[in-house]
Structure 1
Amino acid sequence: MSAPTAFNRRILVVDDNQAIHQDFRKILCTAPASSALDAMEAALFGGPTTTPADPGFEVDSAYQGEEGIAKVKTAVAEGRPYALAFVDIRMPPGLDGVETVRRLWKEDEDLQVVLCSAYSDYSWEEMTQRLGLSQRLLILRKPFDNIEVRQLAHALSEKWDLLRKSHRRMEDLRREVEEWTRELALANERLRKEMEDKARLELRLVQAQRLESLGRLTAGLAHEINNPLSVIMASVGFLRSELDEQLAGRHPLDAGEMREVCSDALLGADRILRIVNDFRIFSKLDGHPQVRVDLNEVLDHAQSAASFNLGRAQVVRELQDAPAVQGSEPGLEQLFMSLLNNAGYATQSVPEPKVHISARERDDGWVWVEVKDNGTGIAPEHLGRIFDPFFTTKPPGTGTGLGLSICHGIVAGLGGTIEVESTPGQGATFRVKLPRSTESAAAPSSSSMS
């Protein structure tokens, strides 16, 4: 059998009767009689002793409550605390046992206590009122049994040892938590700095992309304006030279030719005007505050504005209780009007043109709006460029190439996305992803056919 685990064997006896101290020492400081009998049995009959030797306890004495308190205080200061104190209830003329215990626990809150009394000076209720309910306190009536005292000493000393181990473990855990907290704080600080660096880099990237886009936009604008401007300048130059020839009397003016030249100049001026107007819209995409926008109303206005280009196309709307979105009402009307205009243009040559508008809320809190047509579709080589400024597949003079760029800018400004799927000869689907408004409940549903 392995030896028992060593624990604190320091015990303090606080009693005003000197004979009681001698009794405690006889019981606790020497091995029990059974160990001597066990040794004799082993010598007579052979074999090991049935129980290991008990080294006994280290017992200190205090004859009054104040003396016991001083000894506990000194033991704690020296790092040699007592595990257990046997305290008598009556100790005239000094403190009684209950008050002594209360003050002992102020010096050492882990001290195990056995109150000893032959009288009923306090009821259990009175003790708990003064000392509180505590697992550190036991009551022992006099006269007490030797084995009972020794069992109490063993059990409470080991309990004190387990309590101290628990405290040490809690302190180790506290230090580990503090260390983990420090490491987590450092990691959070590193992460914060990395996120700030990333945000700065992203801001620089956005600025660089804006400068790049501005450069491409400026180059495209200069190119688009240069062509009609060249026509205007050539026409005006021709008119001036013809007028000079007429004033010099060299030949008369040809009215038909002059009218044709003026028409060319007006067409060029009209194209420049449309480019400027589209560019003005393009440059003011962020000019409207974002508010709650009713999709039904926006699509009503956009469809009405695009009705001429939609022509004979059958428009089917399926909104499925589409909620309100967060955005700019003028911007969204411009967005959907441009998409419906494009759908109408794409279905001009289709025998049974149809345009389908649908809107639904996704589980992720976004609203998807689709504009689908059964028109001519978009060639695969053009899909990657349709949102570029001034890119158009329409014949010269019929479009500025800014419509879908404006659409892309409006959606991007709202934090959403716009995508396109198309197969030549089978139509195109433009899918717009917009943030749902958090200001109110969903807008009324609408399902109609026109």
Structure 2
Amino acid sequence: MSPPAGERRRILVVDDNPSIHQDFRKILARPDDDVEELDAMESMLFGEAPPRLGTSRFELDFALGGEEGVRRVKEAVREGRPYAMAFVDIRMPPGMDGVETTLHMWREEADLQVVLCSAHSDYSWDELSRKLGQSERLLILRKPFDNIEVRQMAHALCEKWELLRASHQRMEDLERIVQERTRALAEANTRLMHAQKLEALGRMSAGLAHEVNNPLSFILSNLRHAVRGLEKLPCPPESMAARDDLREACRDAILGAERIERIVQDVRIFARVDEPPRDPVDVRAVAELSISMASEALRSGVRLIKDFHEVPRVLGSEHGLGQVFLNLIVNAAHALRGREDPFIRLGVLRRSDGRVAVEVQDNGCGIPAENLSRLFEPFFTTKPVGTGTGLGLSICHGIVTRLGGDITVHSAPGQGTTFRVVLPAAPGSEGVASAPLERTRSA
């Protein structure tokens, strides 16, 4: 980064002769009370000099050898106040000469502008080119110095350094913008591909559900008919045990078929075959009904905390929202197994933006961070094989988002889980009055 506007540009003078340091100080950092006198002298010797500002634009530092010069450049870079340029003497025995010093300084600060100063022809231009390369950062200045030449070099090279740094910054900004846009495009492409996969999966699932549903209806009907017939069928005592075995086998088959039926219903909802209606719904009444339907899943000893506030009706579907709340309550109950003082809190409140939030909170086992981002993916489940389809939360997500709402989850292992469903209020709906609510009860 370039120094802030108005800050003096830093120049380093590397020379083993202290009197040379004084010369540069007089030329580039002379005090204000000497300005007019020195300008008059320059005008006499070199012609009319350009007008000067009242203060110097440069901050000078000095080094008596190459090693010290390299150290100062390194420190300046580390402090975030790099040198714009350096005047470097070529001959500085017994340490590094100016050429070697320049190489080391460029390794620390690649943009540093360097002026090699010498009264001798130690190196030809070809030799310098071989050692330092064809660099636009390098100029040669012969001693004795021309004050105007030194000052012009300082102004021109510092300005060049500023422009170079600004160009680097613009390139970094452009690269960052390109990276951000590339990342955004990649994410959008990923979302599009995911949406296309889900759409294709939905079409396939809808067709599969339709094909399975028809024969399943015949199977269930015939199994129920067989159970009713076996219950009414008279038989001799020696055959009653066989009849009872057949009846129980049919009942087990009915349970399995009904499970398939529920899976088919979930697949149909996932495939969006049955779009939920949108009517004004008393969300607290739906929550109460969901609690009643989940009574079998709520084992004894679970504290059920109802935190219901006055809220407007929401725009939604009683059946769809009931399915969402029931699924979240049952999942919370499953997460409480083995926990001490287990509780489920069902909260209904009005947000500051006018929308209604329904929260299902538990103090159960929590959800690992690596699973949080996948909870609403279809067919993703952490339950054992055969105990879940992985469609429950995906269906909840689909129902809520199709109603114009949001569903989020906050969880950590061992710290419980909170699902929050946020729904839009029905147009023109006011707060729904209610009788005093029981805040806590045991299931």
TM-score range, shorter chain: 0.3 to 0.5
Q: Which has the larger radius of gyration?
A: 1
**Could you state the TM-score of these two structures normalised by the residue count of structure 2?**
0.43
